[in-house]
Amino acid sequence: MPSQTLVRAARAADRDAIIAFCQNTFSWGDYIADVWERWLANGQLLVGVVNDQPISLMHVALHGEMAWLEGMRVHPDFRRQGSARAVEAAGRAWAREHGCRVACLATSIKNVAAQGMLDAIGYHRAAQFNDWEIEPAPGDFSRARIATENDLRNVDARWRASESCAASHAIVPDRQWHWTPLDDARWREHLRAGEVRVAPNGLALLLASEEHAWIGMSLLALAGDEDAMGALAHAARGEAAYRGYPRLEGQVADCPAANRALERAGFTRGGGMFIYEIEL
């Protein structure tokens, strides 16, 4: 018989029990152990408990009036018993109490079970982001210039007017894989870090990462006309090779022109993520 789940704030002592059932979430393991301390200290980390045993998990991060829900995990022995719904509902309630007006989350396009649960709760699908990959290779990346804060107005205007912005619901992933708006503050952060590339009639957001087991570059936004996006995609491949990164991946909003540009540049499309949201 299904057991009723009690949802409460996570405690430091819950860590070992949670990590134990998250060992094989993905083919490569899981990242929960890497983010546990940060999640415990920021936002709200929730656990579902049955008979004093932690059996589910979810974290809520605050981004202004938006709550980002992440890290939903349920012990294999307790799946399909309502625990995921219990912690999700508690997360939305906490976000509402802290002034949020909308809750958002991402789930794999292959995770049909999660999509069904979200549809039943009342979420709607806001956007789709496709996964792309290509091996870095030497090439000309002179057509892509590193943008500065002086480019802020033009970059922001080009992004807002693009089909990619509309397709993305005006949000893109950040380093923590929270899909948040490319607002003025975020543009300035990326510009100061040298992570925005511009070409005639196009722009790209290109981040480098050397954290944990993943070393490479990520293309997280691509906008402009098709030729410009193709040039920026080619330039990203050449830059990754020049900087010595072994991998170049993309997670770009599903947009016909962007898809064609990436394919023409030699990128291979894999899976992807659906972004869901619900009003609070």
Cα–Cα distance measured from residue 49 to residue 52, given in angstroms and rounded to the nearest whole number: 6
The closest alpha carbon to 189, from 174, 204, 211, belongs to 174
Same domain assignment for residues 137 and 68: no
Same domain assignment for residues 136 and 232: yes
- Is a pLDDT exceeding 80 seen at residue 104? yes
Whole-model pTM?
0.92
Q: What amino acid occupies position 156?
A: D
Residue 144 placed within a domain: yes
pLDDT of 213: 66
Cα–Cα distance measured from residue 46 to residue 7, given in angstroms and rounded to the nearest whole number: 7
Same domain assignment for residues 216 and 91: no
Final residue in a domain of this structure, among 59, 79, 100 = 100
Same domain assignment for residues 140 and 67: no
| CA distances (Å), origin 191, targets 29, 118, 250, 257 | 34, 35, 19, 25
Q: What amino acid occupies position 194?
A: G
| % of the chain beyond a pLDDT of 70 | 98
- The CATH number for 158's domain is 3.40.630.30
Confidence of residue 7 (pLDDT cuts 50, 70, 90): very high
Same domain assignment for residues 147 and 218: yes
Cα–Cα distance measured from residue 112 to residue 115, given in angstroms and rounded to the nearest whole number: 5
Same domain assignment for residues 239 and 137: yes
pLDDT one-digit tens code per residue, 221-230 = 999 999 999 9
Residue 32 placed within a domain: yes
Same domain assignment for residues 157 and 228: yes
Residue 184 placed within a domain: yes
Same domain assignment for residues 57 and 154: no
Cα–Cα distance measured from residue 139 to residue 268, given in angstroms and rounded to the nearest whole number: 18
- Is a pLDDT exceeding 80 seen at residue 20? yes
Same domain assignment for residues 91 and 159: no
- Is a pLDDT exceeding 90 seen at residue 162? yes
pLDDT one-digit tens code per residue, 214-259 = 789 999 999 999 999 999 999 999 999 999 999 999 999 999 999 9
Residue 112 placed within a domain: no
If one counts the domains in the chain, the total is 2
Confidence of residue 30 (pLDDT cuts 50, 70, 90): confident
pLDDT of 143: 81
The closest alpha carbon to 163, from 121, 222, 112, belongs to 222
Domain that holds residue 139: 130-271
Residue 108 placed within a domain: no
pLDDT of 1: 39
pLDDT of 210: 81
Task: Compute the average pLDDT of residues 171-197.
Answer: 94
Residue 276 placed within a domain: no
- Is a pLDDT exceeding 80 seen at residue 118? yes
Task: Compute the average pLDDT of residues 116-135.
Answer: 97
Mean model confidence pLDDT for the chain: 94
Residues facing 69 on adjacent strands: 60
